Amino acid sequence: MIKLRFKISCLLLILVQTASFTQGPWEKITVPTNQFLKSVCFVDSLYGWAAGDSGTIIHTADGGDTWMVQDSQTQDDIVNVFFLNRNLGWASSFNYSTAPFGTVLLKTTNGGANWIKAPYPKENIFINCILFLDSLNGWMGGNPHALVKTTNGGADWTEAETDTTLFSFFPVLKIYFYNEQYGYACGGIFDIAGVIWRTSNGGDKWFTIDPSDAPADEVRGMHMFDSLNVMGAGGDPDYGYGVGIIRTSDGGVNWDYEELGIQGNAYDLDFRNHAEAWAPLGPKGKFIYSLDAGSTWTQIPTTDSTLIYDVTFPDSLHGFAVGTKGAFLRFNTIVIPSVETKSPSLASEFILYQNTPNPFDQNTRISFQLSAFSRVDLIVFDILGNEIVTLVNADMPSGSYEIPFEASGLPRGVYFYRFTASLPGDRGTFSETRKMVLLK
How high is the pLDDT of residue 4? 33
Pairing of strands 89-95, 102-108: antiparallel
Nearest Cα residue to 95 out of 116, 115, 72, 123: 123
Q: How far apart are CA 327 and CA 179, in angstroms?
A: 33
Nearest Cα residue to 310 out of 233, 385, 380: 233
Q: How far apart are CA 130 and CA 102, in angstroms?
A: 15
Nearest Cα residue to 17 out of 357, 317, 295, 377: 317
First and final CA of the chain: distance in angstroms? 32
Q: Span 26-331: which CATH code?
A: 2.130.10.10
If one counts every other C-beta atom within 10 angstroms of the C-beta of residue 327, the result is: 23
Domain parsing of the chain, residue ranges: 26-331, 344-438
* Highest CATH level, class, for 344-438: mainly beta
Burial of 377 (0-12, 13-18, 19+ CB in 10 A): middle
Q: Where are the beta strands (DSSP E) in 268-358?
A: 270-271, 277-280, 286-290, 298-301, 308-315, 318-323, 328-331, 350-352
At residue 319, what is the residue type? G
Burial of 236 (0-12, 13-18, 19+ CB in 10 A): buried
Q: How far apart are CA 171 and CA 144, in angstroms?
A: 5
Nearest Cα residue to 184 out of 171, 170, 200: 200
pLDDT along the chain (440 residues), means of 10: 32 32 73 98 97 98 96 97 98 94 97 97 96 97 92 95 85 96 95 94 95 94 96 85 95 96 95 92 95 89 94 93 98 58 61 92 94 92 85 94 93 88 82 85
How high is the pLDDT of residue 11? 27
Q: How far apart are CA 103 and CA 94, in angstroms?
A: 5
Contacts of 134 (CB under 8 A, 6+ apart): 84
Q: Which residues pair with 50 in a beta bridge?
A: 40, 58
384 vs 23, 111, 372, CA distance in Å? 7, 36, 33
How high is the pLDDT of residue 241? 84
Task: Check: pTM over 0.85? Answer yes or no.
Answer: no
Classified as helix, coil or strand, 303 is: helix
CB 355 within 8 A of CB 436: yes
Residue 154 half-sphere exposure, CB side, CA atoms within 13 Å? 24
Q: How far apart are CA 440 and CA 278, in angstroms?
A: 19
Q: How far apart are CA 356 and CA 348, in angstroms?
A: 22
> Phi and psi for 122 in degrees, rounded to 5?
-105, 135
The angle formed by the CA atoms of residues 192, 198 and 202, to the nearest 5 degrees, is 145
How high is the pLDDT of residue 239? 65
